[in-house]
């Protein structure tokens, strides 16, 4: 956090950021972290962040990125398969924000618009009055993610941009989710359209989504991030889903809630159910 404060809170730091936030810097970092020598950093990183390696079937890694994109044992992240459950696509810290009828929503003191996030006013209008589910991942989190519901994905859209950090300090300083590189796909489900977006961050040069050519199922792996913090954003339509009460209260108070991949975080509203 001290480094982020220096970079974003001082004039010399902001000057330096002009280069650091460019995609080439994260690509360079990614190449370094894919070398065999980088595997030497795995042990110190695990100890510093108290990562439970008993859940990982593999203990030897070719590089730091090989460790970072590791898989876990099948039972390490059980997925809630209750048809009424709305589940987390990833490990992270979750905040749920309502979207105004005008398509606006606040994140840590910064106001965003769906049109700015998607760069598609017609698509953004479909989610006016809905909810934004923002999952922020830190470097120590598990960085694979899943489809959260059965459904049929629409076309993937990639929006090139820069790569700011998504740590709380910076999210309150500028609209990073309007500026960072991101990818999204609409998912047609039994409870309406869910917008699924991955947002890159500083040192996350790669959003690695798996190719799909037909329907997907809840719990199916969607992809992974390369090294660094990052964010997954889900957007649901008006009255389609609701967060669990404790999560809703925490989000209203401006607090993030730790969640795990596959964990129930809300419920699908019965009156929203329909065939996709």
Q: Domain check: are 57 and 127 in the same one?
A: no
Residue 153 has pLDDT above 80, yes or no: yes
Residue 249 counted as domain residue: yes
Highest-pLDDT range among 3-17, 40-54, 254-268: 254-268
Is 75 an active-site residue?
no
More confident residue, 70 or 200: 70
Clarify whether residues 52 and 90 are in a common domain.
no
pLDDT at 17 over 50: no
Looking at residue 22, what is its pLDDT?
Answer: 46
- Active-site option among 91, 120, 239, 271: 91
**Beta bridge mates, 257:** 94
90 within domain boundaries: yes
234 is a domain residue: yes
Angstrom distance (rounded) from CA 106 to CA 17:
24
72 and 45 in contact (C-beta within 8 Å)?
Answer: no
Is it the case that residue 43 has pLDDT exceeding 80?
Answer: yes
Which tokens is 138 given?
Answer: 């830190």
Distance between CA atoms of residues 252 and 106, nearest Å: 11
Residue 88 has pLDDT above 70, yes or no: yes
Residue 125 predicted with pLDDT over 50: yes
Specify if 76 maps to a domain.
no
Contacts 24+ apart (CB under 8 A), 139-142: 139/49, 139/68, 139/227, 139/228, 139/229, 140/45, 140/49, 140/51, 141/90, 141/91, 141/92, 142/70, 142/72, 142/77, 142/90, 142/91, 142/261
Quote the Cα angle for 162-168-173, to 5°: 60
Q: Please check whether residues 212 and 129 belong to one and the same domain.
A: yes
Q: Stretch 98-112: mean pLDDT, rounded?
A: 84
pLDDT of 138 higher than 70? yes
**Domain assignment of residue 38, given as a range:** 2-68
- For the segment 236-265, the average pLDDT, to the nearest whole number, is 96
Instruction: Write down the pLDDT at residue 107.
Output: 72
Is 204 inside any structural domain?
yes
Both 56 and 163 in one domain: the answer is no
E strands within 2-119?
85-87, 92-98, 104-107, 110-113
Give pTM, 2 decimals.
Answer: 0.81
The one catalytic residue in 26, 38, 88, 230 is 230
Q: What percent of the chain has pLDDT over 70?
A: 75
In whole angstroms, give the CA distance from residue 228 to residue 205: 9
- Dist. CA 73–CA 220, nearest whole Å: 15
Residue 16 lies in a domain: yes
Q: What tokens appear for 141 in the block?
A: 């989190």
What is the residue-averaged pLDDT of the chain?
81
> What's the average model confidence in pLDDT over 241-263?
96
What is the domain count for the chain? 2
**Looking at 8-12, 33-37, 183-187, which range is the least confident one?**
8-12
Do 139 and 15 share a structural domain?
no
The verdict on whether 138 is a catalytic residue reads: no
Distance in angstroms (rounded) separating the CA atoms of residues 264 and 92? 13
Considering the domain architecture, whether residues 184 and 210 belong to the same structural domain is answered as yes
pLDDT of 76: 94
Token code pair at residue 151: 């459904």
Same domain, 108 and 234: yes
Mean per-residue pLDDT, 10-23 = 39
């Amino acid at each position: 956090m001290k480094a982020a404060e220096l970079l974003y809170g001082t004039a010399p730091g902001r000057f330096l950021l002009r280069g650091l936030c460019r995609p080439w810097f994260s690509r360079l970092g990614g190449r370094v972290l894919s070398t065999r020598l980088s595997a030497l950093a795995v042990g110190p990183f695990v100890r510093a962040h108290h990562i439970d390696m008993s859940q990982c079937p593999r203990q030897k890694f070719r590089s730091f990125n090989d460790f970072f994109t590791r898989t876990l044992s099948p039972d390490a992240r059980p997925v809630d398969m209750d048809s009424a459950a709305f589940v987390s696509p990833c490990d992270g810290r979750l905040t749920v924000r309502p979207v105004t009828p005008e398509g606006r929503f606040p994140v840590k003191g910064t106001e965003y618009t769906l049109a700015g996030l998607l760069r598609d006013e017609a698509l953004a209008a479909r989610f006016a009055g809905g909810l934004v589910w923002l999952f922020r991942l830190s470097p120590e989190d598990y960085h694979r993610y899943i489809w959260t519901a059965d459904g049929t994905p629409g076309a993937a859209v990639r929006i090139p941009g820069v790569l700011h950090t998504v740590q709380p300090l910076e999210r309150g300083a500028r609209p990073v989710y309007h500026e960072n590189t991101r990818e999204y796909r609409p998912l047609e489900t039994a409870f309406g359209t869910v917008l699924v977006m991955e947002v890159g961050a500083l040192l996350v040069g790669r959003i690695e989504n798996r190719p799909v050519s037909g329907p997907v199922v809840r719990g199916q792996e969607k992809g992974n991030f390369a090294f660094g913090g990052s964010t997954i954003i889900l957007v649901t339509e008006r009255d389609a889903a609701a967060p669990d009460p404790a999560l809703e209260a925490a989000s209203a108070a401006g607090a993030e809630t730790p969640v795990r991949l596959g964990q129930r975080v809300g419920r699908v509203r019965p009156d929203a159910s329909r065939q996709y």
